[in-house]
Amino acid sequence: MDSAHLALFAQALLIGLSIAAPVGPIGLLTIQRSLQQGPRAGLATGLGAAVADAMYGALGAYGVSAVIRLLESARVPLALGGALFLLWMAWGLWRAPAAPATAARPREAGQGLWRYFFGTVLLTLSNPATIFSFMAVFGALSARSGAAAASPGLVVLGVFVGSALWWLALSAGVGRLRERFDARWQRRVRRTSALLLAGFAAWQLGGLFAR
């Protein structure tokens, strides 16, 4: 990898960090699951978002116009589905018991991690506006560097690595605080997370009806 490609990868990595860092529904779920179920649950949640971002990033970088037009036409039903999914998760958090009655078996725990991962992939893909953000980013990088136009895969990889590093740091950092929260505080975290997720869903629905 020459200096131009290394610089391009570093720029894409920073873009991935900046896209992942703002606290939204995914960040909230990552924090809540890291606190209540440990850093592995939080990381599985965050990596789902990183993979979905990479998928949209690839579409934007490679300019798959047919898929982009399809996503644009389906923006409203996708956003509606995402909002309803957020409400469903908020309701589940609100009704969840204070703590599991028994420790999960390894197989059950693994299934839970995959469920968190794919759930976050679907939630992130429900916002096709992400692809247009990546198209703008890729266009800006291409204008500044010919390496971006010649190596779209490197841009997508850099964005994914940057996003994944953020989710790794967040889940590990929050997971270290887990033992400091007793059952009462964990219940408060869960209820607060449920209300905030419902708020994000209401905001998304409001944006749809305001158009």
Measured distance CA(49)–CA(128) in Å, rounded: 13
Exposure string for 12-49, b = 16+ CB within 10 A, e = fewer: bbebbbebbeeeebbbbbbbbbbbbbebbbbbbbbbbb
What is the SS3 assignment for 51? helix
How many structural domains comprise the chain? 1
pTM value is 0.76
Q: What is the pLDDT of residues 79-129, one digit of tens each?
A: 788 888 889 888 988 887 655 444 445 554 567 899 999 999 988 888 766
pLDDT, average across residues 46-50? 93
Handedness of CA 75, 81, 83, 86 (dihedral sign): negative
Range of the domain at 202: 3-209
